[in-house]
Chains A and B, each alone.
Chain A
Amino acid sequence: MKTRKIMPILLLAVCLVISACGGGSKNSGTGGGGDNKPASTNASQGSETPNEPTPPAGKKIVLGFAQVGAESGWRTANTESIKEAAAAAGIELKFSDAQQKQENQIKAIRSFIQQKVDVIAFSPVVESGWETVLQEAKEAGIPVILTDRAIDSEDESLYVSFIGSDFVEEGRRAGRWLLEQFKDATEPVNIVELQGTTGSAPAIDRKAGFEEVIKENPNLKIIASQTGDFTRAKGKEVMQSFLQAHKDIDVLYAHNDDMGLGAIQAIEAAGLVPGKDIIIITVDAVRDGMQAAADGKINFIVECNPLLGPQLMDAVKAVVEGKEVPKRIVTEEGTFTSEEAKAALPDRKY
C-alpha cells in the first residue's frame, strides 16, 4: 500500500530528473558555445554593435536553425560557423539542437513555424520523412533551406535551396588523386575502403564518386570494403581484420578522418608505416586528421567544409529580399596533400 502512494511521486521525480538531464545534454550539444542559449544571446548582442550591416526594412531577419546535434568535431565547427555568421550578418538566430533525433528536429521546426520566423534552415538527421512538416512550413509561407544534408523528397518545392558539400565530388577528388599517383602502375593496386555509417548519404556518395573515377584504371582494385561507422574504434577494429585477411594492401580509402586515424593505429600495430607502406586517403580535414597528414601519416585529405555559415546567411538574406536563389549551392572546399596540410595547419579554424 505504501509503495502505491509513493510511486506517483517517484515517477514525477524521475520525470524531473529526465528533463533536467535533457537540459544538461542540450547544454553539451552547444558545448562549443559555452552557455545554454548562446545562439539568441550572441545574435542579440551582435545586433547592438554599431558597425554591422543594417537589416532590410528596418526589421531584423529571424532565422530558425535546427542542428543535427554535436556528434563530431566537424559538427561543432559547423554550429560555430552558423552562429558567428548570423551574428555578423545581423540575423537573429533561433538555434535548436536535435541530438541526432528526427522527432526533435520536427518538433523544433514546428515551433519555428509557430514563432513565425522568416526563414527555417536545418540539417536533416535522416533523408526521409520530412514531407508533412515541410508542407506545414510551406503553408505558413516560411521558406526552408537545407544545409549539409539533402532530403529524398520528390517534391522539390518544399525547400528553396540546399547548401552543402557534394559528397560524390569528394569521392571523385579522392579517386582522381589516386589515379594520378598510380597512373604508371602496371601491377594491381589493392585498395581497402572504410565506409561511413551504412545507408548514410556521405557513405553512399563518397563510395560512388570514388569508384566512378578509379574505374578508369583497371589496375586499381577495391579488394575489401566494410563499414567503420565513422568512428575511430570501429575503424581500428575493421582495419586490423583487413590486415589479417589481406597480406598486400597498398591503399586505404576512409570516408572520414576519424576512421582513418583508427586505421593508422592498426597499421602501426601491424608493424607497417602508415603513409609509406600503405597510402592513406581520407575525407573531412578535421584538426586531428590534418595533424596526421602533416606528420605524413595521411597522404591525401579531401576537405569537407563545415564553415558554411556565411553562405547560408547570404542565401537567407536573398530569400527574404525575394531574390532568386539557386536550388543547389555547393560549399567551397579544397584538398590537402601532406605538405599542404603542414602549411595550412596553423590557420585552421577546426
Chain B
Amino acid sequence: MSVRWWNKPLFWPLAVFGLLLLLNLIFKPEFFAIRYQNGHLYGSLIDILNFGSPLAIVAIGMTLVIATRGIDLSVGSLVAISGAMACLTISRGDDQHALSLVLTAVLLALLVSIALGLWNGLLVAGAGIQPIIATLILMVAGRGIAQLITSGQIITVTSKPYNFIGAGWLMTLPFSVYLAAAVFLFAAWMTRKTSLGMFIEAIGCNPTASRLAGIRSRSILLAVYMFCALCAGIAGLITSSNVSSADGNNAGLWIELDAILAVVIGGTSLSGGRFSLTGTLAGALLIQTLTTTIYMLGVPPEITLVVKAFVVLAVCLIQSPSFRRSLTRGIPWSPAASGQEVSRHG
C-alpha cells in the first residue's frame, strides 16, 4: 500500500511549523528579519536554531531510547550535571581562557555524562528495571548531584573558549547549530548506514524474539542509554556556556518532557520499534519556534502554557489518522479503528 502524502509522519509537524511561520508573517513580520551584524547573521530564525539546538540534541538521544521501548527521564538532570562539572573545572583553573583547560573541562563533563548513562543502562539492561523507574532515580538524584557540584550556588565563568560552545559563531551561524547537526548526522549514519538501527527497532518491537535471533540486546541497550546521556551532556555544555554559568537548580529543568514531546510530535511511537530522527528534529524545531513565537507575539505569561498545550494537542490530534477521518467523514471515532490504524501506520 502506498502511503498518501498526508499520511507521511513528517507532513503534519511540518504543516504546523509552516502555520506558525505564517502566523508570524501576518502579525510580526520582524520575525523573518535577518541582518548581518558583527560578522554573523542575526534574527529570530537564527535564535530559534541557537536556543533550539540543546533540545534537538537531547531529543535525538531520546529518540533512540524510545525506539527500544524505553524512556530516559534523567536527561534534564544530566544537562545540569554536565554544565556544573564543566563550569566547576574551569572556575578552579588558573587561566580560564586556556584552551587546554576548557578541553579538559568539556571532556570531563562528557565522561561523567557517559558514566551516568552507563548507570542508567545497567539498571535497565542489567537489572531489568523498567526504564521509567530506572531513569527516575537519576532524574531525582541528579539535581542533587548538580547542586552538590555547584554547592548550591550559580558558578559564573569568564572563559572565552568555553563561551564559544553555546554563544560562538562559525561561518555566520551559531556554533551550537553545527553541534546539533553533527549529533544528528552521527545518529542518522549509525542507525541507517549500519545495522544498529535495525537492531534497535528489533529490541523495541520484541526484546525476547530479538535476543533469540542473536541480537546482543544488553550491549545495544547500554550503548543507547550511554549515547542518550552523551547527548544530554553536550546539551548541558551548550546551555551553560550560552550564559557562561552553571545553575544546578534550573539548567535543563523539564527538558526531558520537551524532548519526549519532540520525539512524539516527530512521529516516533512511545511503544518502540519505529523511530524517525528527522521527525524528532522537526518536532524540536516546532517546540522552539512555538516558544519564540509566544515571546514575539507578546502572549501574557499567565496563559503561555495553555497556548502551548493547545498547539501540542492540535499537533497530536491531527497526526492521528482516525481523528482526521472522523473530521472528514463525520463517523464516530472508535478506539478499535484507531488501534488498527496505529498498528498499520507503525
Contacts and interface: CB of A to CB of B under 8 A. Distances in A.
Interface string B96-136: 00000000000000000000000000000001110001000
Nearest to B128: A3
Interface stretch (B9-17, B28-36, B200-208): B28-36
A26 B147 CA distance: 9
Interface string A238-267: 101110110100000000001001100100
Interface string A207-232: 00000000000000000111101111
Select the residue from A25, A99, A229 with max chain B CB neighbours within 10 A. A25
B287 interface: no
A186 to B, nearest CB: 26
Interface of B: 28, 30-31, 33, 37-38, 42-44, 47, 51, 127-129, 133, 137, 140-141, 143-145, 147-148, 150-154, 156, 167, 239, 242-245, 247-251, 291-292, 295-296, 298, 300-302, 304
A73 B243 contact: no
B296 A14 contact: no
A245 B154 contact: no
B223 to A, nearest CB: 22
A32 B152 contact: yes
Contact of B44 (A224, A244, A288): A244
Interface residues of A, number: 54
Interface string A23-53: 0111111011000000000000000000000
B282 to A, nearest CB: 21
B251 to A, nearest CB: 7
A26 B31 CA distance: 45
Interface of A: 3, 6-7, 10, 14, 17-18, 21-22, 24-29, 31-32, 69-73, 75-76, 99, 195, 198-199, 224-227, 229-233, 236-238, 240-242, 244-245, 247, 258, 261-262, 265, 269-271, 288
Given A227-B304, A271-B38, A21 B137 contact: yes
A136 to B, nearest CB: 28
A323 B133 CA distance: 52
A101 to B, nearest CB: 11
B140 A231 contact: no
Contact of B243 (A72, A199, A236, A241): A236
Contacts of A224: 298
B31 A21 contact: no
A25 B144 contact: yes
A31 B152 contact: yes
Contact of B298 (A24, A233, A244, A245): A245
A195 B242 CA distance: 21
B247 A225 contact: no
A142 B249 CA distance: 33
Contacts of A6: 127-128
A230 B42 CA distance: 25
A232 B243 contact: yes
Given A241-B47, A271-B37, A73 B301 contact: no
Select the residue from B129, B133, B144 with max chain A CB neighbours within 10 A. B144
A238 B25 CA distance: 20
A71 B250 CA distance: 8
Contact of A14 (B42, B133, B154, B292): B133
Contacts of A269: 42, 167
Given A25-B147, A233-B250, A233-B251, A17 B153 contact: no
A24 B154 contact: no
Given A198-B302, A224-B298, A229 B148 contact: no
Nearest to A25: B144
Nearest to B45: A244
A265 B243 contact: yes
B32 to A, nearest CB: 10
Contacts of B129: 10, 14
12 contacts: A6-B127, A24-B141, A24-B145, A28-B144, A28-B151, A227-B301, A241-B296, A244-B33, A245-B28, A262-B243, A265-B243, A269-B42
Select the residue from A27, A76, A241, A288 with max chain B CB neighbours within 10 A. A241
Contacts of B127: 6, 10
A70 B153 CA distance: 8
